Amino acid sequence: MLADPTSPLISSVGTRLCREVLPSSFLAREVELSILLPPASLPTAASYPVLYLNDGQDFERLHLQATLDVLYAGGTVQPFIVVGMHANELRVQEYGTAGHPDFNGRGSLAGAYAQFVLEELLPFVQENHQASSNPAEAVMAGFSLGGLSAFDLVWHHPEAFARAGVFSGSFWWRQRAVGAGYTPADRIMHGLVRAGSLHPSHRFWLQVGTLDERGDRNENGVIDSVEDCLDLIEELISCGLNTQNALRYVQVEGGHHHPDTWGRVMSDFLIWAFGKAEGSAALPAPLPVVRLQLDPHLAPAILPPSAPPVAPPVTPLVLPTSENAVGQPLPAALVLATHSIPTPMSLTRPADGDFLPYAAGYINLVPTDADPREVLRSQPAEIHAVFAGLSEEQAEKAYAPGKWNLKEMLLHQIDSERVFAYRAMRFARNDGQNLPGFEQDDYVTYSGANARSIASLLAEYDATRAATVALFDSFTEEQLDRRGTANGGPATVRALLYIVPGHERHHLNIIRERYLPIL
């Protein structure tokens, strides 16, 4: 063990923070630890319960020390130790399900990370910081992919941990990609629970935010993060879990996939895990573990039949003048009043020969029975949700060396949409001459995306999408079937109408699978 002499912060009133470095033979790296000890003013004990927390580098973003000080000052929790294990650039490899990488090979080091925790970390903390070795007094927790890691460790090692805390857990972790034959049975943690057995000591605290994401794979009105968590709970119940005394499911209305939300609900988790009897009794009741299915036959009982549908207000496009243009942000969403109600369009999908083979992957991401123009209208909410609460620094973080960051990906989406829409306009006007392709990596390199703010990129995205929707709304069935040549191959206007939202869905899937787990 190597102590880090640069950052001991000791308070005689609140929690005491120290940082240490633990060399790991399993991970072949030194793991930095942030350790929060109980206030010195409290009576000492021979040993203390322990919270082992993935992503220990995020203590400050979670406002963890301040939350602990408030709980201790109110006498709400018993003294306990917090051990935060810092992640590094290999986070998406070290976190996951041990021995079960996902379809993209991520989580390849999860087994080594589990060995580090069990065989190096626990003995070190128990020997040096009076940490209890009793599994009933050891809690493992984490956020997003780190939450999946925590659940996996507790599920498979009840001899070390009795309880798990999971904030917005990545229970989507799967062995097959969406669009490549994926079914719900491909979710890895659900399968591991189904194949395993519940331990009598197991206790779980699971949290999800209703704005964790916008994805809805099966289009049943329940976002995937909520559904994945509820499905896991159903697997636990099938294994015999008593939801009354072994589960706390906290659904945060308006909660995001972000440390700000997780920090706000941290006290609920800590009181559940380490609260005194009177403190735990005062916790608000969690959301019942239920599913809400909207049955059309029951709609009159839910919505008063006499209430006519209210049409959303239409905001006309207002072009800036010389007086108001300077320094004024564009509206968050632009709606063209003249195209608010598009003409009906058949749902005939593009056929083979209407597009280059690579585009099939995009077209297939548009649901079979969906109007692609309505998909175009709904997607901006998902894009805005991705960037809500992100700092400029986070938006400039790539998931791996040499990959685009989120700002670059967003501007790539804007550039590509403009190119596809331009091709559609040319072909709709019966201009069938060959249009050149473009090199997307070169465009990103020279885009200057990282010199711009998130707000400016979103404003440009909104303006581009408004123009795209207006263009495609204007096309007749005859124009949709016109064709031309682009990038050396065929393309119909109809195919381009499907390619634009499919291309964006492709990148939204990448954001969820590769970016959100590292943020």
The pLDDT of residue 289 is 67
Report pTM: 0.60
DSSP 216-254: -TT-SSS-HHHHHHHHHHHHHHHTT--TTTSEEEEEEEE
32 against 334, higher pLDDT:
32
Encode pLDDT of 136-187 as tens digits. 999 999 999 999 999 999 999 999 999 999 999 999 999 988 878 899 999 9
Confidence of residue 1 (pLDDT cuts 50, 70, 90): very low
485: left (phi over 0), alpha (psi -120 to 50) or beta: beta
Res. 283 pLDDT band, cuts 50 70 90: confident
Q: Is the pLDDT of residue 293 over 80?
A: no
Please report the sign of the dihedral spanned by the C-alpha atoms of residue 375, residue 377, residue 381, residue 383. Answer: positive
Measured distance CA(356)–CA(359) in Å, rounded: 6
pLDDT, position 385: 87
Q: Could you give the CA distance from residue 187 to residue 184 in angstroms, rounded to a whole number?
A: 6
Q: Which residue has the tokens 């659940």?
A: 151
By C-alpha distance, which of 476, 353, 357, 460 is closest to 424? 476
pLDDT value of residue 313: 47
Question: Pick from 478, 484, 496: which is nearest to 427 by CA?
Answer: 484
Between these two residues, 31 and 286, which has the higher pLDDT value? 31
pLDDT band of 97, cuts 50, 70, 90 = very high
Q: Give 249's strand partners.
A: 206
Q: What is the pLDDT confidence band of residue 503, given thresholds at 50, 70 and 90?
A: very high
Distance CA 316, CA 338 (A): 8
* Whole-number Å distance between alpha carbons of 189 and 206: 14
Considering only residues 282 and 166, tell me which one the structure prediction assigns the higher pLDDT: 166
Secondary structure (H, E, C), 145-176:
HHHHHHHHHHHHCCCCCCEEEEECCCCCCECC
> In the prediction, which pLDDT does 21 show?
94
Amino acid 199: pLDDT:
96
* Buried/exposed 214-247: b ≥16 CB within 10 Å, e otherwise: bbebeeeebbbbbbbbbbbbebbeeeebeeeebb
Contact between residue 142 and residue 149 where contact means Cβ atoms under 8 Å apart: yes
Band (pLDDT 50/70/90 cuts) for residue 319 is very low
Per residue in 462-475, pLDDT (tens digit) is 999 999 999 999 99
Residue 205 scores a pLDDT above 90: yes
95: Cβ contacts below 8 Å, ≥ 6 apart: 54, 87, 107, 110, 113, 142, 145, 146, 148, 149, 517
Going by pLDDT thresholds of 50, 70 and 90, the confidence category of residue 344 is: low
**What integer is the mean pLDDT of 212-218?**
84
Sheet of 81-85, strand order: 2-3, 16-24, 29-37, 81-85, 50-54, 138-143, 163-167, 203-211, 247-256
